[in-house]
Amino acid sequence: MVKQTQLALSDAAEWLGDWHPLAEQLGSTDGLVTLGSVSASLRLVPVHDVPSLRNFLSNYHSRILLPLELPAIQSAHGHATRHEVRELVALDQGMAGQPIFSEFAAASQRVGQSQLRKLRPLRDQRAVQRYLHAVESGEAHGWHTLVYGLTLAVYSLPLRQGLLGYAHQTTRGFIYSAARMLSLSEHQCRALFDSLCAGLPEAVEALVVQETVA
């Protein structure tokens, strides 16, 4: 049972983590414009070497992943667990008003909607069906983070591990996508990952505890 849960959790993390909408841009010539726009909005120089990649990822962690993406996943998970589809849709709509998300909105929605459609066969999951209907009717956008949180809830996967898995997989996706462009060695990739992710378990725990206290 534990092994099955770990495998399901890994799958849930990987389908979004390995292909985070921003990570995609690092491996795509066409997407470099979008990545450059995000870098510009964060007031960063474009990624062109290891120091600039480290700086980009450090800022991604502190300004997007931790304050925006992980809380969105957590909120979506909570709403789905409590069958609060109306609140989930409101959360979805509210995210559209955050400027940083506009830089990769199309990619996020493409990833999220694709994964949401894969949940369509779960007819007994009312939250899935109602959220899917809201997305298809144009009432909601289907952000990848919200679909990820919904997926964790649907399969009763542990929230802490899900949040940490997402953070690890997105960071890994960035690094290995950039590795092709920057000709990074496996050792460089692993060292960068270890240094960037050292504080993530503590940050995830603080986020979960904060909601529990609230």
- The CATH number given to whatever domain includes residue 192 is 1.10.4190.10
Q: What angle do CA 63, 175, 188 make, to 5 degrees?
A: 120
Cα–Cα nearest to 171, from 22, 63, 71: 22
- Name the domain count of the chain: 1
Q: Who has greater pLDDT, 130 or 46?
A: 130
Helix (H) or strand (E) holding 182: helix 159-182
Q: Which pLDDT tens digit goes with each residue over 101-154?
A: 777 788 788 888 988 998 999 999 999 999 999 999 999 999 989 999 999 999
How far is 167 from 200, CA to CA, in rounded Å?
8
Query: Predicted confidence band at 3 (pLDDT cuts at 50, 70, 90)?
Result: very low
Query: Domain span at residue 44?
Result: 2-213
Q: Which pLDDT tens digit goes with each residue over 57-98?
A: 899 899 889 999 999 999 999 999 999 999 999 999 999 988
